[in-house]
A and B are shown apart, each in its own frame.
Chain A
Amino acid sequence: MTKKDTAKKTVAKLKKNKHYRPAGKKREGNAARYMTRSQAIKQLQVNLSVFRKLCILKGVFPREPKKKVKGNNQTYYHVKDIAFIQHDPLLEKLREQRAYQKKIHKALAKKNEDLATRLRTREPSYTLDRLIRERYPKFVDALRDLDDCLSMVHLFAALPAVERLKINVERVHSCRRLSHEWQAYVARCHKLRKVFVSVKGIYYQAEVEGQKITWLAPHAMQQVLPDDVNFSVMLTFVEFYETLLGFVNFRLYHSISVKYPPILDPRLEALAAGLFYLYALTRYMNGNTKRISEEQESGSTKPEHTRGQLEGAQFEESELRLSQLQHQLPSNEDRALMHLIEEDDDNDDDEDTKKCKKLFKNMKFYLSREVPRESLLFVIPAFGGVVSWEGDAAPFTEADQSITHQIVDRPSQGHMYLSREYIQPQWIYDCINFGVILEAHRYLVGRVPPPHLSPFVDNEAEGYFPDYAETIKRFEAAAKNEVLPMPGVGKDDLDDPQLLLAEGYLSRTEAIEVAERKKERATSEKQYLEDLKQEVQGHPDATASIAVEGAQVEEESSRPHLEQVAEDTDGTALMMMSRRNRGLFKAMKIAKDKKKAKVEKLKQRKKQIAEST
């Protein structure tokens, strides 16, 4: 290194180090990069609760430094994260709020009621719009992070308002409203894909704009507020998530040309506080778009009358309600545009959505009093069904002859209509998960229904099929065969559940196994041919078994070779990988082995059970 270079370097160093660094402060390393929570609080000059709030709102989370300079018992934050908080206007806003609260306190302490009330009317507030835009620069980002948001909002929608924990009624109501708005959108656009009823709650999965969104909604029962949960933290999260979901809903509603803060007619609004908000919303959305199309056809200014005649007496009432909404609808020009969009929307639905739309088509459901109404009111319309319930504002009554399914969950039924099926709610969920209309006789009243399998387990990847899944698969295959009988190989494949299974399993594995399968099929074909021959010749089974043995020998001889090839390729690939990747690869392998072992165990257990009974 020449002298010049060193000189340059020192200059650069001097230039770089332009900020004042107090004596004793570290220049580099973990000591300079991380600070403890108490240090951060001191730097930001706020108290702990405000700091917590800021961290949550800004999306700053504690980190684990490699070297914990201040000890193992501390929580560490990155210096840059803290600087990021420090430069946010929100910090100033929160400080201002605190100062203002002090003023109010003072007024109250001096028993100056009117000053306190006057001050309270002008409390400084803040909005989180900017933060949301900052944390989720694109809409897709927001959708990707919606899982936690939805779960939290659904949870708070079911919590009791408790003053002690500062869960106020407005918050609970707004959570309920937002969750129902989201559900209405999902149901309207048929975006729901999977439902799993577990002990914890009900898991839903929807696919919005290509993003799979999973959330957990509580069962319809009294939620307990446990002691070990810090509700102030939860409330901060909910505050942020509420805003986020509001914006997401806005965007989604506008994408299907519906006004966002939805305006409902006053009669339903009264009920809307309770269960029927969702119903009101879906009707609002459907009505909005339906009416527009009607108008386009007839060209009249008062479409509700024509439609009322068309639809029959049943819908008259709802139409009247809709007519109340008329003034709130956008102008004519917009409507034409919306109509166009609607048509477009229908066309570019993906395959899944189309399937989901048609699942419960032409079916009319009636919910009894004892079934989980809120969940079913969401799920059934999402798959194209029409639903009603026992209670106020129901669209049709139990006596309606066109009802095809009544969902009940009680041991005995009073009056039974012959024209409809009486089934348990699990039928709905299972139909959705398997994507077919299952036979209803397994789910009849008073029977123990077949097991409710989790749709979130990829059976093919796991390599283990529960019994019921297999029967359904067979059923499905049979249904397919009926609809479109395939000639030749395809039909053969579908007929044989064993083969089908193998196919499913293999679709996930590597190329060698595909080759294996080909070989297998070839051998089986050969075997079949030979069998045929022997049958023609009138030979007994003995020769057939020999032939099978021969085939197996052949197969076994070919298999090791293939595996060897696979191993070799693996080895070379392993050499090429970086150390980290190699580690990950090994972890993957271990996980795979574990999975295999688990499947083995399950199979063994099943065998044992079968033997013992």
Chain B
Amino acid sequence: MGKKPKSSRKGKKAWRANISTDDIDEFIEKSTKDALTGGSLAEVPNESLFFVDKSKDLSVKRKIEKHREKVLHCDSVLQRNPFVKAIPSSNDKKKSSMKNKKNKKDSTEASTSKDDATKDGESGIVDLWENEAEGDIRTRKVVKTSVIPAVEVDPPGCSYNPNFEAHQDSLAKAVAEEMQKVYQSELGPQPVPLTVQGDAIEEEEMYFLEVDNGDDEANEENEDAPEKSSSMKKMVTKVEFNRRARLKDRQKKESEAKKKAEISKEIDSLPTIIDEIAKEDEEKQKRMMRRLVAKQERLKQQPPRLGRHKFVPAPTQVLLSEEITGSLRKLKACCTLATDRFKSLEKRGLIPPSANKRRRKYNFAYELRFLAGDKVLDLYFIDDGEAEEAAGVLIDVRVEDADGIFVHRMKAHYVIHKTMPTNLGPFSANNVSSYSGRGTAKASSETFGRDAHVSSSSPNDEAAAAMEEEAERKIGWLLKVIFAGTATAIGYQFFPYMDGRRMKIVELGGAQELLNMLEAAKDDRTRKAALEALAALTKSDKAAGALHKAGAIPIVQSTPSSVEEEAIDKYKTGLLKRFQDLKYDGSS
């Protein structure tokens, strides 16, 4: 495009003033006026002027107001005004043409891709492995991270209707796992106490303490220093010097001779040294092998340490003996398969194990307390749902609210004995996950037995409970020592209010084992321990029955009483009394 030849700028023709702009001015004036005043109604689109009123029952005004959106003034200013026409841009044409081109290109692309998709099925799925033989795609050797299979099939004991032996096996494993946890919490190192008893030290004294310490150290140093310096300063006479030199010489010779003798001795004993080295090597080899084997075994069970947290396996899903019904309809199945899959991912090392976060937030914290008069025997923290369930049975439900603490005293007539809950019915150990370990709450969630026992209302019930606890701690140790390692043995642990567990111990053959132990015991301590365990077991009526069947009474009767251990007698009489209470005659 050539430029226009420049014409002369001289002359009136070129004057801008001569061009009339009246019509333009008029138009601008009119449009601005329109814009400011709202303009002539003829130009406004119909929709903005009228609307169809469909409302019938509500007053029109209210409805309009309800539907009218509030628009801020600043927004309304920025909103598009229908009276102001957009000013055409100078390079509009160029842009639009480019856009068109692009659009066309896009559309063609889209259509071709669509064609591809529609060629083979509507969804756009194609056979990925159509030409797998060619191997054209860049692939990467997939590193198998773990030897653990993706889906581990449960052992046969976890069947919904298991074989008896297999079920016992799985049950024992599950109990062992559970007990392991208990042991870890009970026998593990005690946490550092948050508070320590003792008198507070006043601030002034604290200063003194520090100063005293500092002084002592400084004094010691001062005492040491002058001695050293004095010895350094001491002069050595010539005689002394010579004597020392001689002594040194002699010592040197002696040591050399000694060394020589030793070497010759060693040379003589060369074969034994070689043997020793060989033995050492062998030992090393063995150790290596052991380590290797152990690692292989370990990798079959759990992933390597991949992060901050340790992998914690999911508990075994197995039915309790009383839950086996043989009917699929009544099956109490596991409903947290998501956990299982997640644990599997962790176990195979696909994701680093995460922390065990089992904390939930509650608006309400209920305290569930078992009272004996004013004294709190036991205390749990539960959430509202559980509190509701428990409300029918409990003595006291203390509600902590934003407003304060107030106590509900509910249905006291349900309580037979003052100290113990009679029947916690719907409670189960899993339910009480909300238990939080604040200072006074000492029990773990396991102590919520499924069916709490109705214990005799003797006045020293408290003492009995305490004793039981003591016994379980001791017995746990003892039995662990005696039957160390076997899975069934870990099943002996005694907790108050746990009939189910007591029965399980009996089921696993624990009672028989204890009786055998009592019979064969040689020293008093073992006897005492066995008696203690039996006493703990007989707290459950069922377990006591089982013990009776196993022939406990004659064995207990025949136990010799001893002078040193008074407890033996006490337990003996207690046991026999218990059996009498339950109408198991000593004679039978």
Contacts and interface: CB of A to CB of B under 8 A. Distances in A.
Interface of A: 52, 56, 59, 61-64, 72-76, 84, 129, 132-139, 141-142, 145, 147-148, 151-152, 155, 158-159, 196-201, 203, 214-216, 218-219, 221-231, 233-234, 237, 246-247, 250-251, 254, 259-261, 370-372, 409-410, 424-426, 448-449, 451-454, 456-457, 466-468, 579-580, 582-584, 586-587, 590, 598, 602, 605-606, 608-609
B327 interface: yes
B156 A155 contact: no
A261 B160 contact: no
Contacts of A453: 156, 159, 163
Given A148-B150, A201-B337, A251-B129, A582 B289 contact: yes
Given A151-B341, A196-B153, A62 B352 contact: yes
Contacts of B164: 451, 609
Scoring B127, B338, B350 by chain A CB atoms within 10 A of each residue's CB, the highest score goes to B338
B563 interface: no
10 contacts: A63-B306, A74-B308, A75-B306, A137-B132, A139-B132, A199-B154, A199-B158, A200-B317, A409-B328, A580-B292
Nearest to A263: B122
Contacts of B351: 52, 56, 61-62, 230, 233
A395 B311 CA distance: 50
A261 B122 contact: yes
A199 B158 CA distance: 6
Contacts of B122: 261
Contacts, number: 248
Contacts of B455: none
A228 B337 contact: no
Interface stretch (B96-104, B138-146, B229-237, B493-501): B138-146
Contacts of B358: 227-228
Contacts of B340: 200, 216
B162 A409 contact: no
A456 B159 CA distance: 11
A425 B342 CA distance: 30
Contact of B349 (A62, A221, A254): A62
Contacts of B200: none
B329 A606 contact: no
A447 B286 CA distance: 57
B405 interface: no
Nearest to B125: A250
B439 interface: no
B307 A75 contact: yes
Interface residues of B, number: 78
Contacts of A76: 306
Scoring A61, A606, A608 by chain B CB atoms within 10 A of each residue's CB, the highest score goes to A61
A228 B357 contact: yes
A93 B327 CA distance: 52
A507 B10 CA distance: 119
A64 B306 contact: yes
B119 to A, nearest CB: 13
Nearest to A58: B140
Interface in B145-202: 145, 149-151, 153-156, 158-166, 168-169
B483 to A, nearest CB: 14
A200 B293 contact: no
A132 B128 contact: yes
B132 A260 contact: no
Given A59-B142, A237-B345, A590-B293, A468 B121 contact: no
The 5 closest A-B pairs by CB, nearest first: A454-B156, A148-B150, A64-B304, A583-B292, A448-B326
A608 B349 CA distance: 42
Contacts of A608: 509
- The main secondary structure of chain B at its interface with chain A is loop
Contacts of B345: 233-234, 237
B159 A227 contact: no
Nearest to A111: B75
Interface in B112-136: 121-123, 125-129, 132, 135
A413 to B, nearest CB: 14
A250 B345 CA distance: 27
B334 interface: yes
Contacts of B288: 579
Contacts of B126: 250
Contacts of B349: 61-62
Interface of B: 121-123, 125-129, 132, 135, 137-140, 142-143, 145, 149-151, 153-156, 158-166, 168-169, 288-289, 292-293, 296-297, 304-308, 317-319, 325-329, 331-342, 344-345, 349-352, 354, 356-358, 360, 509
B121 A259 contact: yes
A606 B168 CA distance: 11
A182 to B, nearest CB: 14
A132 B333 CA distance: 35
Nearest to A467: B163
A583 B166 contact: no
Given A151-B151, A199-B160, A259-B121, A250 B127 contact: yes
Contacts of B344: 148
A512 B338 CA distance: 48
Given A449-B326, A451-B162, A582-B289, A229 B125 contact: no
Given A200-B158, A448-B326, A453-B159, A260 B140 contact: no
A121 to B, nearest CB: 15
Contacts of A231: 338
A409 B329 contact: yes
Nearest to A197: B160
Nearest to B165: A602
A197 B328 contact: yes
Given A62-B349, A155-B337, A199-B158, 11 more contacts: A61-B143, A75-B306, A135-B142, A199-B331, A227-B358, A254-B127, A409-B327, A448-B326, A449-B161, A451-B164, A590-B293
Contact of B151 (A158, A216, A247, A584): A216
Given A226-B339, A228-B358, A229-B339, A73 B331 contact: no
Contacts of B289: 579, 582-583, 586
Contacts of A75: 306-308, 352
A15 B91 CA distance: 54
